[in-house]
Chain A
Amino acid sequence: MWERVIRRAGLPVAYSKGFSPRPLLSFGLGLPTGCESTAEYLDMVMEHPVDQGGLAPELSALLPGGIDVLALAEVAGDAGSLQQDVTSCTWEMAVAEASDGELAERIASALAAESLPFVRERKGREQSADLRPAIVSLEQYRSDGCRAVLVAELSTRPLGVRPVELASTLGVKSSSTRRTHQWIDHGGAREEPLPLDAPNGARLEACAP
């Protein structure tokens, strides 16, 4: 999809050398199927610098409905790959069938636990792992009669935990999940791959119609 959009936009993207040249694009961490996101990143290597004025809306218009370019910036050629640099992600989950009080209790007990074992199926084999070290933070916001929203920052290594795994370990059912941030850790100070002037997307609608 991105390759087609780039060609339609006429962007001077660099191609790999060799017998089967491909445009030099690298995506960040994959977004699990079924999740929404307001924080996805893509590195594109250009043949030469491009004028970024108006490029974001232009690309948005060429992208399928629901996918928009929020910001663009030039990064140094020696910047690391997104896949390796991103250390944690923030997720918001609309939680069904749990009162605020219940959810707060579950959060508190999860944070107090020394380990949170869970089972992951991989290549047909079941592996057990500990989810607790991956939780950087865990909280809830907003209730006023609507569904509660669970906000979790989960680290990507050594074990990348999927939000659905967190939900099932906490014993809650999430009706929709959205990635809102990807974080790069710089010796304790974390920042996002791109500083966003615009508000980073809307918060997850807790009162979905």
Chain B
Amino acid sequence: MSSLWPRIEPLLEKVSKPARYIGEEMGAYQPRHGAGRVAWLLAYPDTYEIGLPNQGLQILYEILNEREDALAERTYAPWVDMEAAMRAEGVPLFSLETHRPAGDFDVLAFNIAAELTVTNVLNMVDLAQVPIRSDQRGPQHPLVMAGGHCAYNPEPMAPFVDALVMGDGEEVVGEITEVIGGWAVAGCRSREDLLKMLAKVPGVYVPSLYEARYEGGRLAGVRPMEPGVPEVVAKRTVADLAEWPYPKRQLVPLTEVVHDRLNVEVFRGCTRGCRFCQAGMITRPVRERPARQVEEMVASGLARTGYDEVALTSLSSADFSGIEGVVERVVRGVGEDDVAHAGPSQSVQRPSGGPVSVSLPSLRVDAFTVGLAAQVQRAKRTGLTFAPEGGTWRMRRVINKLITEEDLYAAVDAAFSGGWRRVKLYFLVGLPTETDEDVLGIADLARGCAEIGRRYHRNVTVTVSVGGFVPKPHTPFQWFAQDTVAEQRRKVNLLRDALRGVRGVALRWHDPEASVAEGIVSRGDRRVADVIEHVWSHGGTFQEWSEHFDLRLWTEAMAAAGLSLEECVHSELGEGDVLPWDHISAGLHRDFLWQDWQDALEARAVTDCRWTPCYDCGACTGAGIEHVVASPVPPAGGSQGTGQDLTEALVAALLAQARPAVGTAEVPMVGTVPVPVSETVPVPVPVALGAPTPGGSCVGTRPAKLIRGPV
């Protein structure tokens, strides 16, 4: 046994939060290493508290450990104090289960869910005593792999990662295991042979087999260098969530972590079509888990873990078919007939233990949603969060987040009258076509909400949280020029001035400098790799953390790499421009995205294709799958959370401004009845090395850690 524990234990008394490094969580495996088993070390490049709850990592952890030919352990980024202690003592990165050196594993697989964690990936590889660049690794080193939402533009990490996985990971991890296992048995074949074999697995991208060409200082294309390597790597999509009821044994940590509760994924994918939201675009189509399975997973999960809170996770949980019934049965306790009400205003009690609360991350903005929240949050009515994202109706049509002012005010009214006293509103600034009027619209909405609140309570708080928009690959906004730091600051200052002295409104904002660094990684090409290495080698780890983030490191690194922010981040791109991720497919047709971008510029909205005709985005047809939605009709609250049913009138209004059809889609007829979606054809699942983080989604694009303020 090669446990490093005797060398790790003496370090623990010197560092903060030593429980981060001991493992021992309930649900953890104690895998047996040995011949015939491919050893995976699943790594999350941020702290234990952030990484442990990640559902994607936990799903793959279980799937791999259930296999006869694989095993998986976990590791997280050691905090700076632990890293210093480890480096001082020569202790390499280690796994939590058996405290084995990371370098002893066959695969070191990272979930990259946030752009600024990329420097931590390099740091962890280096701590593992593995060369950070793929071309310096030899047969004695583990394969370094990555997945997660940031893998959809793999180019900035191309020289560091041996292989990246696009899309849902449930199936592909098994296929990769078989390839590695077969290669290991064959013995004498080279690492290059293994990489070529992996490149043949659908969804796997091996950057070293592709060449990036530049013309006149601009990217001209990323092409395979030899036959048999796919020109376009398409994401993996699991057709039926019902076949993957994971995690079955969610890890229960010994110490406090974020999202410290049971998490049950109710569906994957989202077709609301918010144009800024990468998660909604790349995880299509919508695949619901059968309600019955959700209830079973909740009941068994609560009994097993002892949690008193469960989150029903997805990108917009109020859209789950029959959500009201599911929530009601969950709160009541599945299979428990006799319900004991403790009192009129108290939570429902379970026979054993206290009240169970349900949390629904990523809720729509409408009164229905608040009703749902009231149903599940009988106990703690502390705060409710809504994400209108845009300050004016025009702006919200541009981003296709179709919430009217009335929807928002109705939701806020319902919240304040229902006993809540704090409301949080998320907005983006730096959106396409944005004017100062749109920015100031945010202040108007905030004022309006506070006024509604004072009808019910003497003191209310409306917190306005503003993030700077970062255009993401595989979205209609991928061609858009991101605002500069100065412009984002100017807009935030406009808001500060407008909200100065306004009672009951607090303004917080995401650091515009961090948004720029995110922009570099989000849409950079292969040359950005040098930038990332420079930032890392100059001490730039934990860049997601405001106390460690330093834009100067990034701008210096850009200069050192001969790149300009202006060109990389702040320039608008044209239809003919080569994008660094053109050789990666998230299932979406490029012409669909371009058309949606043109529609955005004209403030033309589109409806949700779950319940209305197809726009042929490509997600279903390309993968030969379709939406799995249990109910053929939209949930109460209607399309896009407008608070209106998807009646003919609304459909007509939206279609009257509809764009021309793309590809082969027919032009939707005015007054079309929502097309029922088959209940019987179930469809697909999570992510390669990274399903949605609970609480992820559009709201989750801004780490709370970086939010500053109040004014």
Report whether chain A binds chain B: yes
Which residues of A are interface residues toward B (Cβ below 8 A)? 1, 3-8, 10-13, 15, 19-23, 33-34, 62, 64-66
Q: Is B379 an interface residue (CB 8 A)?
A: yes
Contact B24 A64 (CB under 8 A): yes
CB nearest to B350 among chain A residues? A7
Contact B12 A7 (CB under 8 A): no
CB nearest to B381 among chain A residues? A19
CB nearest to A62 among chain B residues? B306
Which residues does chain B contribute within 8 Å of A65, judged by CB atoms?
Answer: 24
Contact A4 B354 (CB under 8 A): no
CB distance from B313 to the nearest CB of A (A): 20
Do A21 and B26 contact each other (CB < 8 Å), given the known contacts A4-B306, A34-B12?
no
Q: Is B409 an interface residue (CB 8 A)?
A: no
CB distance from B634 to the nearest CB of A (A): 34
| Count of B interface residues, CB-CB < 8 Å | 24
Contact A4 B254 (CB under 8 A): no
CB nearest to B343 among chain A residues? A17
Which residues does chain B contribute within 8 Å of A6, judged by CB atoms?
Answer: 306, 353
**Assembly CA distance A33 to B303 (angstroms):** 30
CB contacts under 8 Å to A, within B9-25, are: 12-13, 18, 24-25
Bitwise, B271-311 to A at CB < 8 A (1) or not (0) is 00000000000000000000000000000000111111000
Q: Is B622 an interface residue (CB 8 A)?
A: no
CB nearest to A19 among chain B residues? B379
**Assembly CA distance A33 to B353 (angstroms):** 29
Contact A21 B13 (CB under 8 A): no
Which residues does chain B contribute within 8 Å of A34, judged by CB atoms?
Answer: 12-13, 18
Bitwise, B12-55 to A at CB < 8 A (1) or not (0) is 11000010000011100000000000000000000000000000
Q: Which of B24, B352, B381 interacts with A10 by CB under 8 Å?
A: B352
Which residues does chain A contribute within 8 Å of B353, judged by CB atoms?
Answer: 6-7, 10, 13
CB distance from A143 to the nearest CB of B (A): 23
Contact B306 A3 (CB under 8 A): yes
Q: Is B632 an interface residue (CB 8 A)?
A: no
**Assembly CA distance A23 to B22 (angstroms):** 28
Q: Which of B13, B308, B379 interacts with A33 by CB under 8 Å?
A: B13
Q: Which of A1, A8, A23 interacts with B354 by CB under 8 Å?
A: A23
**Assembly CA distance A1 to B307 (angstroms):** 9
**Assembly CA distance A13 to B353 (angstroms):** 7
Do A21 and B24 contact each other (CB < 8 Å), given the known contacts A10-B353, A33-B13?
no
CB nearest to A66 among chain B residues? B24
Q: Which of B24, B307, B352 interacts with A4 by CB under 8 Å?
A: B307
Going nearest first, the 9 A-B pairs with the smallest beta carbon separation are A4-B306, A7-B353, A10-B352, A34-B13, A8-B306, A7-B306, A15-B354, A20-B380, A64-B24
Contact A4 B252 (CB under 8 A): yes
CB distance from B218 to the nearest CB of A (A): 53
Do A8 and B254 contact each other (CB < 8 Å), given the known contacts A19-B380, A23-B354, A64-B26?
no
Beyond contacts A3-B306, A7-B353, A21-B347: 11 other A-B pairs, Cβ-Cβ < 8 A, are A4-B305, A4-B308, A7-B352, A11-B352, A19-B379, A19-B380, A19-B381, A21-B346, A21-B355, A21-B379, A64-B254
Which residues does chain A contribute within 8 Å of B354, judged by CB atoms?
Answer: 7, 15, 21-23
CB distance from B377 to the nearest CB of A (A): 11
Q: Which of B12, B18, B379 interacts with A20 by CB under 8 Å?
A: B379
CB distance from A95 to the nearest CB of B (A): 15
Which residues does chain B contribute within 8 Å of A7, judged by CB atoms?
Answer: 306-308, 352-354
**Assembly CA distance A11 to B350 (angstroms):** 12
**Assembly CA distance A64 to B24 (angstroms):** 7
Which residues does chain A contribute within 8 Å of B346, judged by CB atoms?
Answer: 21
Bitwise, B310-354 to A at CB < 8 A (1) or not (0) is 000000000000000000000000000000000000110001111
Contact B254 A1 (CB under 8 A): yes
CB distance from B16 to the nearest CB of A (A): 9
**Assembly CA distance A22 to B308 (angstroms):** 11
Contact A3 B308 (CB under 8 A): yes
**Assembly CA distance A3 to B347 (angstroms):** 17
Which residues does chain B contribute within 8 Å of A8, judged by CB atoms?
Answer: 303-306
Bitwise, B627-651 to A at CB < 8 A (1) or not (0) is 0000000000000000000000000
CB distance from B705 to the nearest CB of A (A): 23
CB nearest to A164 among chain B residues? B13
CB distance from A123 to the nearest CB of B (A): 17
**Assembly CA distance A15 to B342 (angstroms):** 11
**Assembly CA distance A48 to B354 (angstroms):** 15
**Assembly CA distance A11 to B353 (angstroms):** 7
A-B contact pairs, 9 of them (CB 8 A): A1-B254, A3-B306, A5-B306, A7-B353, A8-B305, A10-B351, A34-B12, A64-B24, A64-B26
Which residues does chain A contribute within 8 Å of B352, judged by CB atoms?
Answer: 7, 10-12
Contact B307 A33 (CB under 8 A): no
**Assembly CA distance A66 to B26 (angstroms):** 13
Which residues does chain B contribute within 8 Å of A62, judged by CB atoms?
Answer: 306
CB nearest to A177 among chain B residues? B13
CB distance from B252 to the nearest CB of A (A): 7
CB distance from B148 to the nearest CB of A (A): 29
**Assembly CA distance A6 to B307 (angstroms):** 10
**Assembly CA distance A64 to B19 (angstroms):** 12
**Assembly CA distance A3 to B305 (angstroms):** 10
CB nearest to A63 among chain B residues? B26
**Assembly CA distance A7 to B309 (angstroms):** 12
Which residues does chain B contribute within 8 Å of A12, judged by CB atoms?
Answer: 352
**Assembly CA distance A68 to B182 (angstroms):** 45
**Assembly CA distance A19 to B12 (angstroms):** 39
**Assembly CA distance A4 to B27 (angstroms):** 14
CB nearest to B347 among chain A residues? A21
Max chain B Cβ within 10 angstroms of own Cβ: one of A1, A7, A11, A64:
A7
CB distance from B308 to the nearest CB of A (A): 7
CB distance from B93 to the nearest CB of A (A): 22
**Assembly CA distance A64 to B23 (angstroms):** 11
**Assembly CA distance A62 to B252 (angstroms):** 12
**Assembly CA distance A10 to B381 (angstroms):** 27
**Assembly CA distance A22 to B347 (angstroms):** 12
**Assembly CA distance A7 to B353 (angstroms):** 5
Do A33 and B18 contact each other (CB < 8 Å), given the known contacts A4-B306, A7-B352, A19-B380?
yes
**Assembly CA distance A64 to B22 (angstroms):** 12
**Assembly CA distance A4 to B308 (angstroms):** 8
CB distance from B543 to the nearest CB of A (A): 27
CB nearest to A11 among chain B residues? B352
CB distance from B575 to the nearest CB of A (A): 54
CB distance from A11 to the nearest CB of B (A): 8
**Assembly CA distance A188 to B305 (angstroms):** 45
**Assembly CA distance A127 to B93 (angstroms):** 38
Max chain B Cβ within 10 angstroms of own Cβ: one of A1, A5, A8:
A8
